[in-house]
Chains A and B, each alone.
Chain A
Amino acid sequence: DGGITQSPKYLFRKEGQNVTLSCEQNLNHDAMYWYRQDPGQGLRLIYYSQIVNDFQKGDIAEGYSVSREKKESFPLTVTSAQKNPTAFYLCASSILPGSSYGYTFGSGTRLTVV
């Protein structure tokens, strides 16, 4: 079955540490996205990529970094510069950059800073 796999489902990080969240898709989608969900704030876009080796900042990119070396993979690194990293992180993909085709979401990673 095609889909998006995010791992791990739960992640704990000590303050000051970088951590990388994995996102892999086998849908052959060109575009991939990272969102953050906080209570009462909906889904906020962190980074997105429309093609391999290219990506753009979203609305809240500070303290995060990404790479897109392969079409199937779009890992997100939460750096120590991110002041409030505890959140639920969602990865998504779409067949083309045009979102009219809709997004397919992964099941999310809950990151907790301890």
Chain B
Amino acid sequence: DQQVKQNSPSLSVQEGRISILNCDYTNSMFDYFLWYKKYPAEGPTFLISISSIKDKNEDGRFTVFLNKSAKHLSLHIVPSQPGDSAVYFCAASDRGSRLTFGEGTQLTVNP
């Protein structure tokens, strides 16, 4: 039972363009969502989060959008840079419970 799904295993964009990474969830009790970034052979690092009471959170080049009715969130990176090339995981929690992670999306930003 995969409660958090990232349906795109990979995404390739040109430097300077927008990257949009998507995540769907099934558990309507999830109330907090996070995005993590992971380079090969390293641990994931926290990128940005959003509470279910909001529909948008922005931090520099990174913006997360939450559509509760569609049970969908997305991460926008503008402008994309080659250093953004990594695996991105979305994660969700239910009232402070442990995190549930998606499968990850490999983003490649081409110079």
**Chain A residues within CB distance 8 Å of chain B:** 4, 6, 9, 33, 35, 40-43, 45, 48, 58, 88, 90, 92, 96-100, 102-108, 110
Q: How many residues belonging to B are interface residues under a CB distance threshold of 8 Å?
A: 23
Q: Is the CB of A90 within 8 A of B9?
A: no
Number of A-B residue pairs having CB atoms within 8 Å of each other in the complex: 60
Q: Is the CB of B89 within 8 A of A102?
A: no
Residues of A within 8 A of B42 (CB): 107-108
In whole angstroms, how far apart are the Cα atoms of A108 and B44 in the complex?
9
Quick one: which of A40, A43, A45, A97 contacts B89, CB cutoff 8 A?
Answer: A43
In whole angstroms, how far apart are the Cα atoms of A96 and B98 in the complex?
10
Annotate B87-101 by CB proximity to A: 1 below 8 A, 0 otherwise: 001010100111101
Known: A41-B103, A99-B32, A102-B46. Is A108-B98 also a contact (CB below 8 A)?
no
In whole angstroms, how far apart are the Cα atoms of A106 and B102 in the complex?
19
Q: Is the CB of B97 within 8 A of A99?
A: yes
Q: Is the CB of A99 within 8 A of B96?
A: yes
What is the distance, in angstroms, from B95's C-beta to the closest C-beta of chain A? 8
Quick one: which of A92, A102, A105, A108 contacts B49, CB cutoff 8 A?
Answer: A102
Does B41 sit at the interface, judged by CB under 8 A? yes
Known: A43-B44, A108-B41. 7 other contacts (CB 8 A): A40-B103, A42-B102, A43-B89, A103-B46, A105-B36, A105-B43, A108-B42
Q: Is the CB of B9 within 8 A of A98?
A: no
What is the distance, in angstroms, from A53's C-beta to the closest C-beta of chain B? 19
In whole angstroms, how far apart are the Cα atoms of A105 and B9 in the complex?
22
Q: Is the CB of A92 within 8 A of B43?
A: yes
Known: A40-B9, A90-B43, A106-B43. Is A99-B99 also a contact (CB below 8 A)?
yes
Residues of A within 8 A of B6 (CB): 42
**Can you report 6 residue pairs joining A to B where beta carbons are below 8 Å apart?**
A45-B98, A48-B98, A98-B97, A100-B93, A107-B43, A110-B41
